[in-house]
Chain A
Amino acid sequence: MSALVNPYAKQKETEAVTAHVLWMTTGLSCEGDSVAMTSATNPSLEDIILQAIPGMPKVVVHNQVVDYAVGQEYAQAWFDAENGELDPFVLVIEGSLGNEEINGEGHWTGFAVNPENGQPITMNEWLDRLAPKAAAVVAVGTCATYGGIPAMKNNPTGAMGVPDYLGWSWKSKAGLPIVCIPGCPAQPDNMTETLLYLALHLAGLAPAPELDEALRPKWLFGRTVRESCNRAGFTEQGQFATEYGADHRCLVKLGCKGPVVRCNVPVRGWVNGVGGCPNVGGICMACTMPGFPDQFMPFMDEDKLGALNANITKYTYGPIVKYFRHRMAKKHDVEPEWRRRGKTLTTGYVKRW
């Protein structure tokens, strides 16, 4: 019999807690974040549902893309949460919120039906009903965090993000601000990792996630794309791609907005580390940023300041750095002269036999 005291006893307490995630995909949304979430590996959806990390509570995810239940059976959890029967729960919002004050008796979004009038219940109304009762509100994807593409100039719905609707200083009953995970779609592991972290925090096993001034998790969005990009070496050497594709140099002159965008995709990759944006040849379109998309269109046009910066590098120190580096690299391409066959040892060692 082992003399060790059970090292997992404390964890069993928090593992016995059940937390619900009510993931609403029905904002003005393409559901790209839910789909991307299914490709996450760190952790994966199964890891979350099967409690793969010690101490994490049992998380029941209600997401209509994968749920077994249909219709009212599925939607019942929302009415239960409103009635206080599903405590604690985290409300995840995907998609932007339309302005429902401008469309009379119509609706821009809807989830389940109001039994009193037979009309769909809008996302905005669900937020009004559930946000005060949620342990946390999480906005996934740029539409939910900052409005995104449905909130482009000239849009008919008056779309906005969750912080625009609830207020940027909103706090949940557990004292948490709105947790925003932007990206279009949000990077898969960014979403599941943050949800895991939130679950551990609500179980008392981790502090609250640190968020920056745009409500983004600091450890995920602290670096810019330029600061994370595998082509930055070319930038430093003043080497810029002149066409898309096989030209593997810095893309800033072809429209990449990397220098001014907060995002970790160039270091994290996309699915299981494979793929990404400028790190594989795709210009960064700034899809994690509050100013997306309007401030960055046309996407294929270079940003004026970025281009100016590039030209300064290209016509000043860049070529000098490149020249001396290449000279040095050539020097290091030659082995030391003592590695050869022959009857004498010329490595510097003096034989003593």
Chain B
Amino acid sequence: MATETPEQQRVIVKEMSWDPITRIVGSLGIHTEIDFTNQQVLKCYSTSMIFRGFDIFMKGIDPRDAHFITSRICGICGDNHCTCSCLNQNMAYGVKPPALGDLAFNLAETADYIFDHAIFNDCMANVDFCEQMVKETNPTLLAKAESTPAPGQDIHGYKTIADIMRALNPFTGEFYLETLHVARYTREMYCLFGGRHTHPSTIMPGGCSADITHQTCTDYYVRLMRYFDYVKRSVPMHDDLYDFFLQELPGYDMVGYRETNLVNWGSFDDPDYVDYDYRNMTNWGRKRYITPGVAIGGELISTDLVEINLMIRILLGSSYFDSWENEPTFVTHDPIGNPVDKNHPWNKVTLPRPQKRDFADKYTWVVSPRIYDKRTDTHVCCDTGGGPFARQWCTAKAGLVDFGYAKATGHSIQMVLPRSPNMPEMELEWNVPEKSNAVERDRARTYHQAYSALIALHNLERAMKEVQAGRTKSWNSFKVPETAVSCGFHEAARGVLSHHMVIQEGKIANYQPYPPTPWNASPRDVYGTPGPYEDAVQNTPIFEENGPENFKGIDIMRAVRSFDPCLPCGVHMYTGKGKVRKVMHTPTALA
């Protein structure tokens, strides 16, 4: 056996795939090549296996059916789609709901966020941090956790970090079980204004069709105050858990790391400002309780929804579709007169071409949405950070929000939570973190439960004033025009959600919904830029103590789940026991 020179090193690289990824909504597959010698991920592909074709079968239908149909794009955030479609239709029909209608939309959607973030964080994503999982992947860390006191124990009641981890064990952990219970009464809150969840029965263009009375508001109020008790314990508990990982595993801030390129369309309109008119969208967009924004390279470059609208591009490259460059153009200019690109959603045509999966060529049903940056003439791959991260990042930096219970300072969001049945008033502050990584996305999600609850409280107080004043009308009528060009911008729990529509002859000529997952799960585009999951996972170092034979890929799972993947469009990766692809001799300079 020849001796190896010091410059050479044996490197074990294994192909490993995880299909399906569990504890997300939808089917997602992650395929990787892992360098076990240097404990890093070399390559990552995210693939999607399910295609239904909403934009195809919605052609030619009555536009007033759009919110009912598009709700069914997603089974956890269907109501976000329904709401976005109603915002879109309001613009197309030129209708503004009464104040109570807009407030009802906000009350329903805040209830949805506080439900979704709770169940996703603590019954799905954080199972990756539970005692059972840490025992199987980082036993040394678990031992340390047993003897590390939790700084916030006086508030949340868990004495050690290991106690927190035990509380997150699936189906036996105390906090896990409490969260399942919370996930039910928060959906009761949703149903008070939305009727059903996740596919609402009372969220309509023109306003809300729920019969809103004093009772409706009281039922919501009582549950919201109980939620404040829960979230006051949840935030410090998660801070303790995530800070422990960052302290005990130096370098953990690189798990799921990617450059801060973010998109967030903002949500929760203020009825005093919104008129659903595209020409005024810049102004009413900035009045939202969550400020819209685009960040590139760590800089907030816009909070103007009209400008942001014109930056959106849909690219192909690795997706099972044909190009639409030869299809007719629906929209050449927006309602203000700005030119609209052929790759903008208004002009996209969906031409599916089902085929065999080939990771070297086309491997997914997901397309590649990108932000066109005219300053550099490039298509930037932006992500939503799982939703709360991008929302809070842009809101904090824009410094526009201030509704008493919460205030954006330019570098943070300050919040004051009210006294609740079991706990006193509490101040919280979410600071814009240095890096866009897995831990900060998860942390932002917990803080966002508090922020959304405060938006709910504020809107509830406004709604009650309307009801008490006898202004119980919550819907205004409208007529569907022969032609229209419109858009709805909203935030699904996990990030950006836009619906673009073209009406011709009173029917839908083109309807293009873009949920957050095509952004986050997008594959390599035609310019070769990888999608966010691919990018973030490729940057992820491995801290797991298991070797290649019983590797769980927990750091990769934490990276992927931090984006709160929701793939009813589907993404699949296959995990096998993995096969060693090759053993390379590589000069250490390249390792």
Within 8 A of A (CB), among B541-591: 552-553, 557, 568, 570, 572-577
In the complex, what residues of B have CB within 8 A of residue A285's CB?
Answer: 68, 201
Task: Check if A36 is an interface residue, CB within 8 A of chain B.
Answer: yes
Tell me the smallest distance from the CB of A206 to a CB of chain B, in Å: 25
Look across to chain B and name the residue whose beta carbon is closest to the beta carbon of A153: B57
Q: In the complex, which residues of chain B have a beta carbon less than 8 angstroms from the beta carbon of A111?
A: 20, 27, 49, 572
Shortest Cβ gap from B479 to chain A (Å): 12
Alpha-carbon distance between A173 and B198 when the two chains are bound, in angstroms: 35
The answer to whether B60 touches A154 (Cβ under 8 A) is yes
Q: Which of B68, B568, B572, B575: most chain A CB closer than 10 A? A: B68
Would you call B474 and A245 a contact (CB within 8 A)? yes
Check A280/B191 contact, CB under 8 A, given A30-B568, A108-B354, A110-B49: yes
CB contact list, B39-90 vs A, under 8 A:
49-53, 56-57, 59-62, 64-65, 68-69, 72-76, 78
Complex Cα spacing A245 to B471, Å:
12
- The reply to whether B474 and A246 contact each other, CB–CB distance below 8 Å, is yes
Query: Quick check: B211 and A271 within 8 Å, CB to CB?
Result: no
Q: Given A159-B52, A244-B475, answer yes or no on A149-B72 (Cβ-Cβ < 8 Å).
A: yes
Residues of chain A contacted by B95 (CB below 8 angstroms): none
Within the complex, the shortest CB–CB distance from A289 to chain B, in Å, comes to 14
Q: Which of B179-187, B302-310, B433-441 is found at the contact surface with chain A?
A: B179-187
A154 to B511, CA, bound (A): 14
B197 engages A31 (CB within 8 Å): no
Q: Are B574 and A154 in contact (CB under 8 A)?
A: no
Q: Scan residues 10-43 of chain B and give those whose CB is less than 8 A from a CB of chain A.
A: 17-27
A208 to B122 CA separation, bound complex (whole angstroms):
37
Residues in B whose Cβ lies below 8 Å from that of A64: 20-23, 27
Q: Is the CB of B198 within 8 A of A36?
A: yes
Flag whether A283 is at the interface (Cβ < 8 A): yes
Which among A32, A49, A71, A283 is the interface contact of B20 at CB below 8 angstroms?
A: A71
Query: Using an 8 Å CB-CB cutoff, how does the interface string of B364-404 with A read, 1 for contact, 0 for none?
Result: 00000000000000000000000000000000000000000
Of B59, B197, B356, the residue contacting A275 (CB under 8 A) is B197
Q: How many A-B residue pairs have CB under 8 A?
A: 294
A238-263, CB < 8 A from B: 243-248
- Neighbouring A residues of B212 by C-beta, 8 Å: 245-246
The verdict on A276 contacting chain B, using a C-beta distance below 8 Å, is yes
Tell me if B177 and A46 are in contact (CB < 8 A).
yes
A23-54, CB under 8 A of B: which get 1 and which 0?
00110111111111011010011100110000
Query: Contacts A75-B19, A280-B201, A280-B211 given: A70-B195 contact, CB under 8 Å?
Result: no
Bound-state Cα–Cα, A108 to B101, Å: 39
Query: Which single residue of chain B is at the shortest CB-CB distance from A297?
Result: B65
By the criterion of a CB under 8 Å from any partner CB, how many residues of chain B are at the interface? 92
In the complex, chain A residues whose CB is within 8 Å of the CB of B557: 70
B residues near A293, Cβ cutoff 8 Å: 65, 68-69
Establish whether residues B183 and A281, one from each chain, have CB atoms under 8 Å apart when the complex forms.
Answer: no
Contact of B124 among A29, A65, A108 (CB under 8 A): A65
- Asked if A185 and B75 make an inter-chain contact with CB atoms under 8 angstroms apart, the answer reads yes
Question: Which A residues from 84 to 114 make CB contacts under 8 A with B?
Answer: 103-113
Selected from A41, A71, A265, A283, the residue in CB contact (under 8 A) with B196 is A265
Task: Say yes or no for A126: interface residue by CB 8 A criterion.
Answer: no
Contact indicator B188/A297 (Cβ below 8 Å): no
Q: Are A35 and B23 in contact (CB under 8 A)?
A: no
Asked if B255 is an interface residue, CB under 8 A from chain A, the answer is no
Contact between chains at A46 and B576 (CB < 8 Å): no
Q: How far is the CA of A122 from the CA of B21 in the complex (A)?
A: 17
**Beta-carbon nearest neighbor of A143 in chain B:** B72
Nearest chain B CB to A114 CB, angstrom units: 9
Q: A29-B568, A109-B49, A157-B52 are in contact. Are A271 and B197 (CB under 8 A)?
A: yes
Q: Given that A46-B177, A49-B171, A71-B575 are contacting pairs, would A35 and B198 also be in contact in the complex, using a CB cutoff of 8 Å?
A: yes
Q: Do A32 and B72 touch across chains, with their CB atoms under 8 A apart?
A: yes
Identify the closest chain B residue to A112 (Cβ).
B19
A272 interfacial by beta-carbon distance below 8 Å = yes
Contact partner, A46, options B52, B56, B171, Cβ 8 Å: B171
* Chain B: minimal CB distance from A121 (Å): 10
The residue on A at minimum CB distance from B60 is A154
Please, which residues of chain A bring their CB within 8 A of the CB of B18? 70-72
Please classify the interface of chain B as helix (H, G, I), strand (E, B), loop, or mixed, using the class held by over half of its residues.
Answer: loop
Contacts of B177 in A (CB 8 A): 46
Question: In whole angstroms, how far apart are the Cα atoms of A299 and B210 in the complex?
Answer: 16
Provided the pairs A109-B49, A157-B51, A245-B101 are in contact, do residues A120 and B21 lie with their beta carbons within 8 angstroms?
Answer: no
Q: Are A26 and B27 in contact (CB under 8 A)?
A: yes
Evaluate contact between B75 and A155: CB separation under 8 angstroms: no
Task: Determine the interface band of chain A, counting residues with CB < 8 A from chain B.
Answer: 35 or more
Q: Among the listed A28, A72, A274, A280, which residue makes an inter-chain contact with B576, where contact means beta carbons less than 8 Å apart?
A: A72
CB-CB contacts below 8 Å: B263-309 with A: none
Expressed in whole angstroms, the Cα–Cα distance for A285 and B200 within the complex equals 11
A120 to B20, CA, bound (A): 11
Contact B354 A104 (CB under 8 A): yes
A283 vs B119: C-alpha distance when bound (angstroms): 29
| Interface 1/0 per residue, B473-495 and A, CB below 8 Å | 11101000000000000000000
Q: Is A21 an interface residue (CB 8 A)?
A: no
Given A39-B184, A275-B197, check contact A184 B72 (CB 8 Å).
yes
**Smallest CB-CB separation from A96: which chain B residue?**
B52
Let me know if B21 and A70 touch, CB within 8 A: yes
Q: Is A215 close to B, CB under 8 A? A: no
Shortest CB distance B571–A (Å): 10
A25 to B52, CA, bound (A): 14
Contact between chains at B68 and A75 (CB < 8 Å): no
Q: Which of B22, B51, B52 contacts A70 (CB 8 A)?
A: B22
CA distance A109 to B568 in the complex (A): 11
Contact partners of B474 in chain A: CB under 8 A? 244-246
Contacts of B357 in A (CB 8 A): 118-120
- Is the CB–CB distance between A282 and B195 below 8 Å? yes
Assembled-state Cα–Cα distance A70/B64 (Å): 40
Min Cβ gap B244→A in Å is 22
Complex Cα–Cα for A248 and B192 (A): 15
Whether B56 contacts A281 by the Cβ 8 Å rule is no
Contact A70 B575 (CB under 8 A): yes
Q: Does B127 contact A (CB under 8 A)?
A: yes
Q: Which residues in window 299-315 of A have CB below 8 A to B?
A: 299-301
Set of chain B residues within 8 Å of A282, measured between Cβ atoms: 195-196, 200-202, 209-210
Contact A275 B23 (CB under 8 A): no
**Which chain B residues border A75 with CB–CB below 8 Å?**
19-20
Given A30-B75, A275-B188; A243-B477 close (CB under 8 Å):
yes
Q: Which residues of A contact B73 (CB under 8 A)?
A: 30
| A298 to B133 Cα, complex, angstroms | 49
Q: State the 9 A-B residue pairs at the shortest beta-carbon distance, nearest first.
A: A106-B354, A282-B201, A275-B191, A71-B575, A32-B75, A110-B49, A244-B209, A30-B75, A71-B18
> 17 other contacts beyond A36-B198, A113-B574, A245-B212, with CB at 8 A cut-off?
A28-B52, A38-B180, A39-B183, A39-B197, A64-B20, A106-B353, A108-B52, A111-B20, A154-B57, A157-B52, A244-B208, A245-B472, A265-B196, A281-B201, A283-B209, A297-B65, A298-B64
Q: List 12 A-B contacts (CB under 8 A).
A: A28-B50, A39-B183, A103-B354, A105-B354, A110-B570, A244-B204, A245-B475, A276-B195, A277-B195, A280-B202, A298-B61, A299-B65
